[in-house]
Structure 1
């Protein structure tokens, strides 16, 4: 069972530390606050770190990297924590995960057909989000709001439920002719994001793309792509004391020891007064972390 260490900003928790194999930040959204709740995961530990904001923190990478899938030691991490053999053989590391419209299951070349049947042939949701401006994306219905939290979105709205991952990728491709599918991470971290009327944007896009959606429904069936019209936009707040004026990207490969005052948490990033670091990028690294009152 994971060990839970509370991270409150008072003297009782000065010098608290955690160490182990790093995984992506665990981010949740308590309904009573609407503010993202962060936990740092290292080995068997889950450390509550919202309370670290405003404190001096130190992160150190030992230089050891182990694959998050098979555990073997690797000199370089691929695809957010995998060794090269896993990266080139596992279905969830295939290119079609990034571009689901290129799914090749029906060509008989899926890396793991059984895995594909469990994960890709299940309902997906097409959504609009606002992380650095309007964007479109897809996710499994069970992965909301985690997907939006990982992206640092301040708003999100499901707009279409689609039968399979491949079909959702085709819908997303249709939307990409009118709206981006990417987040400008620098703008996201600077807090330069104005709220949008996602309901109005949804209605505009569904009207403009009606012919293309109708063609996809004729191809896959009317029930394969259904409009979500009974959900309100979700607003998300993040624990940030101060936005950086200039983005300096920190990297364990270049700087094994990283120190600074933690100014905020957004997406998978720690925002320090010395720079920002995307912890998801370094999944599998052996890392120690500590915090003390500034």
Structure 2
């Protein structure tokens, strides 16, 4: 039996191995990968605490924050979702120090196969893999550009998404492993389509604002024994208790028997009792 407020699942990945997951709950970490195939019972105690200030809150916003933190923190500002609207350079950032440490740093633009191909941005690529790719359930990913700031990454993404999606269809992602895509060919095709727009961004933000990356795609596998045929989402705000066999984990989702799934990241800050 485990009990406590949860956070988003932590991930670790090595080339050629399935992703390893652990769930922070209270002061403990549950090895979730080891529990695939086990029966699990989860109960929500109807207590929620903000993942930033730990204040008790009746409602969670933006995957774990109280309303006060939602409107105060830079990490909850709308420009995090739309980085092309970054306003640090205007002097209006909610937390300039946080902006310097997180937004005024280099970012990567990438292609990923999450059931459909998409463009995206990420801060970190460690040992060739980004945790963001895993959180999105990507089975293939390829870093294609390195840019100097979050603003520039958003401008570049905006150019690319005229030709390719920038969102993950989570239902499609959970229904199985997609067919492989030639991401190298897709990268070259897209570069040909956006060459002029990228040159304009370089002209405005400096010749070193973005640089192409000559990388190879990475493949990511997940600890899944069976995928759902028809996805049925569990909502902890309506269904305070559920149980079943954990058939697998992909992205930030648990895949249970009877086609049920739950996005554990959505419930960061919720106080749960988990019995294995």
The question of a shared fold, defined as TM-score above 0.5 by the shorter chain, is answered with yes
1:68 aligned onto 2:51: yes
Deviates more, 1:112-121 or 1:180-189: 112-121
Q: Does the 8 Å CA contact 1:29/1:145 hold for their aligned counterparts?
A: no
Match of 2:249 among 243, 257, 265: 265
RMSD: 1.1
Deviation at 1:181, TM superposition (A): 0.4
CA distance in 2, matches of 1:88, 1:199: 41
1:223-249 CA distance string (max 9 Å, x none) = 1110001x2101001111111011100
Deviation at 1:142, TM superposition (A): 4.9
Q: TM-score, normalised by structure 1?
A: 0.91
1:184-211 CA distance string (max 9 Å, x none) = 0001000152110111111110111111
CA distance in 2, matches of 1:135, 1:201: 11
Alignment of 1:37-48 (within 5 A): 37-48=20-31
Give 5+ residue unaligned stretches, structure 1. Answer: 1-16
Deviation at 1:108, TM superposition (A): 2.2
Alignment of 1:18-97 (within 5 A): 18-31=2-15, 33-97=16-80
1:162-182 CA distance string (max 9 Å, x none) = 000000100000000000000
> Which residue is 1:14 aligned to?
none
1:66-125 CA distance string (max 9 Å, x none) = 000001000000011000000110000000001010011222221111111111111000
Deviation at 1:59, TM superposition (A): 1.0
Q: Does the 8 Å CA contact 2:253/2:262 hold for their aligned counterparts?
A: yes
Match of 2:155 among 170, 177, 189: 170
CA distance in 1, matches of 2:59, 2:97: 29
CA distance in 1, matches of 2:70, 2:33: 32
> Which residue is 1:215 aligned to?
200
CA distance in 2, matches of 1:192, 1:46: 28
CA distance in 2, matches of 1:120, 1:145: 17
> Which residue is 2:130 aligned to?
145
CA distance in 1, matches of 2:170, 2:177: 11
CA distance in 1, matches of 2:227, 2:13: 21
> Which residue is 1:232 aligned to?
216
Q: TM-score, normalised by structure 2?
A: 0.96
CA distance in 2, matches of 1:67, 1:141: 25
Q: Aligned residue pairs: how many?
A: 273
